[in-house]
């Protein structure tokens, strides 16, 4: 018994040191960027949201999507998902914290976050998101309390409903950051809010399956085959729906003449961006996972599909965020603009090591919160032992 506890404790501290080291490297990179300026990154006056924003938006959107597991279990009474609700809530808070860490440290003046916290322009979607992000943490904390405290269990369904509504509002707000951005042709679309909601479903479930599999393996347990099939089928539905809505988004843009040049840039002529979109998101991040989930059996197929969905998510966000900024602003519609300031020219961007480390630092922070939370609160899903 003592030997088992000692082995478990060593594994916990090893994971904690690993996550803490990655987080420290991210904080060090942020300090380096603040001390030397964003000139040490690949960002410039055209591409002001670089690779760290890709990491941040992925984690924030996934934080909303991973909470879907808890919503299905508590609100709709599905016992398979209800057993996973506590871990789902913890992952939501951890991913949101990691994403916001990257977002704040990428601003260049992170100490000025106090301004954002005390001065609000309620006509700005950014101000709305300050309340949505902090509110989600509070709502999920209350929700976890109702799940973990037996005498509070009677309030778990209302708390779960509140978490469901709040997470929809949060993802709508994140999509609206881009949807309301009229200065960029890549954005300004009413489809972006529902698109981000649907994307969050697949990304959140994929991350949840990877984390759950790792934690079960560390504890010498395995997932029941029937539960695995149900979760895999659900992931396939989410991936197919996301791919459909992305196709609708680009098809809508292609319908409008003013968007034809931008769509040609993203889908055909933009160099790295069409490659990442077609090979990264469509093939590796959507089609191949669907093939694995349809034809494959066993945990390897589900985990392989989940990993590919996460890789495809990064490819999609890189194209969406970086590609949308690299395409030149249309300042004077109907006219060609050229100047020594690069007006009318396609921006060139390449992420540098501080950006990579900062983004990975946010992942490390989410990892540390998850490891500590599971250890302290014992949130591992408890299912009946599978039949031998």
Residue 4, pLDDT score: 53
The residue behind tokens 């395995």 is 222
Any domain includes 143? yes
Q: Which two tokens stand for residue 161?
A: 């409903």
Q: Is 216 exposed, middle or buried (0-12, 13-18, 19+ CB in 10 A)?
A: middle
Q: Which two tokens stand for residue 336?
A: 């060609």
Q: At what angle do helices 2-36 and 353-377 cross, to 10 degrees?
A: 150
Model confidence pLDDT, tens digit, residues 74-131: 877 777 888 899 999 999 999 999 999 999 898 767 777 777 777 777 777 878 888 8
Any domain includes 146? yes
pLDDT along the chain (388 residues), means of 10: 63 93 96 89 89 96 93 80 90 96 84 75 81 92 91 89 92 89 80 94 96 87 84 94 95 87 90 95 96 82 94 97 87 68 78 96 97 88 59
Residue 172, pLDDT score: 93
* Structural domains in the chain (count): 1
For residues 256 and 263, the answer to whether their CB atoms sit within 8 Å is: no
pTM check: above 0.85: yes
Any domain includes 16? no
First to last CA, the chain: 25
Tell which residue, 233, 207, 246, has the closest CA to residue 95.
207
d(CA 85, CA 7): 27
Residue 338's domain spans which residues?
22-346+359-377
d(CA 145, CA 138): 11
d(CA 212, CA 264): 40
For residues 82 and 88, the answer to whether their CB atoms sit within 8 Å is: no
d(CA 125, CA 132): 10
Any domain includes 9? no
d(CA 342, CA 49): 18
Residue 334, pLDDT score: 67
Any domain includes 4? no
For residues 20 and 368, the answer to whether their CB atoms sit within 8 Å is: yes
Write a three-state SS string for the chain. Answer: CHHHHHHHHHHHHHHHHHHHHHHHHHHHHHHHHHHHCHHHCCCCCCCCCCHHHHHHHHHHHHHHHHCHHHHHHHHCCCHHHHCCHHHHHHHHHHHHHHHHHHHHHCCCCHHHHHHHHHCCCCCCHHHHHHHHHHHHHHHHHHHHHHHHCHHHHHHHHHHHHHHHHHHHHHHHHHHHHHHCCCCCCCCCCCCHHHHHHHHHHHHHHHHHHHHHHHHHHHCCCCCCHHHHHHHHHHHHHHHHHHHHHHHHHHHHHHHCHHHHHHHHHHHHHCCHHHHHHHHHHHHHHHHHHHHHHHHCCCHHHHHHHHHHHHHHHHHHHHHHHHHHHHCCCCCCCCCCCCCCCCCCCCCCCCCCHHHHHHHHHHHHHHHHHHHHHHHHHCCCCCCCCCCC
Any domain includes 353? no
Tell which residue, 364, 277, 300, has the closest CA to residue 59.
364
d(CA 59, CA 102): 10
For residues 378 and 83, the answer to whether their CB atoms sit within 8 Å is: no
Any domain includes 384? no
Other C-beta atoms lying within 10 Å of the C-beta of residue 217: 12
CATH code, domain with 108: 1.20.1630.10
Any domain includes 192? yes
For residues 284 and 308, the answer to whether their CB atoms sit within 8 Å is: yes
């Amino acid at each position: 018994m003592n030997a088992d506890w000692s082995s478990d404790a060593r594994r916990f501290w090893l994971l904690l040191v690993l996550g803490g080291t990655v987080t420290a490297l991210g904080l060090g990179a942020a300090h380096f960027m603040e001390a030397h300026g964003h000139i040490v990154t690949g960002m410039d006056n055209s591409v002001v949201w670089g690779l760290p924003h890709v990491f941040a938006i992925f984690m924030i959107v996934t934080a909303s999507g991973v909470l879907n597991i808890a919503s299905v279990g508590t609100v709709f009474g599905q016992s398979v998902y209800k057993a996973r609700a506590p871990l789902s809530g913890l992952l939501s808070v951890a991913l949101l914290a990691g994403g916001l860490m990257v977002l704040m440290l990428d601003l260049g003046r992170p100490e000025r976050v106090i301004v954002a916290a005390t001065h609000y322009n309620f006509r700005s979607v950014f101000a709305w998101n300050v309340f949505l992000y902090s509110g989600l943490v509070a709502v999920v904390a209350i929700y976890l309390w109702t799940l973990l405290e037996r005498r509070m269990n009677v309030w778990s369904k209302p708390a779960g409903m509140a978490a469901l509504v709040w997470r929809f509002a949060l993802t709508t707000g994140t999509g609206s950051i881009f949807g309301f951005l009229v200065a960029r042709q890549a954005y300004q679309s009413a489809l972006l809010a529902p698109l981000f909601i649907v994307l969050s479903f697949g990304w959140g479930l994929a991350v949840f399956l990877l984390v759950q599999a790792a934690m079960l393996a560390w504890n010498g347990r395995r997932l029941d085959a029937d539960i695995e099939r149900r979760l895999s089928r659900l992931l396939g539905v989410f991936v197919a729906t996301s791919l459909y809505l992305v196709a609708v988004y680009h098809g809508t843009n292609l319908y409008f003449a003013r968007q034809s040049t931008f769509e040609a840039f993203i889908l055909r002529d933009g160099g790295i961006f069409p490659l990442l979109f077609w090979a990264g998101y469509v093939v590796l991040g959507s089609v191949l996972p669907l093939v694995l989930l349809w034809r494959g059996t066993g945990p390897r197929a589900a985990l392989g599909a989940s990993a590919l969905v996460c890789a495809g998510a990064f490819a999609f966000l890189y194209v969406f965020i970086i590609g949308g900024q690299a395409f030149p602003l249309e300042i004077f519609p109907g006219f060609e603009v050229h100047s020594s300031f690069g007006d009318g020219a396609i921006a060139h961007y390449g992420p540098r090591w501080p950006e990579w480390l900062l983004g990975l630092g946010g992942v490390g922070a989410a990892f540390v919160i998850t490891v500590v939370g599971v250890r302290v609160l014992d949130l591992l899903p408890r299912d009946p032992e599978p039949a031998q």
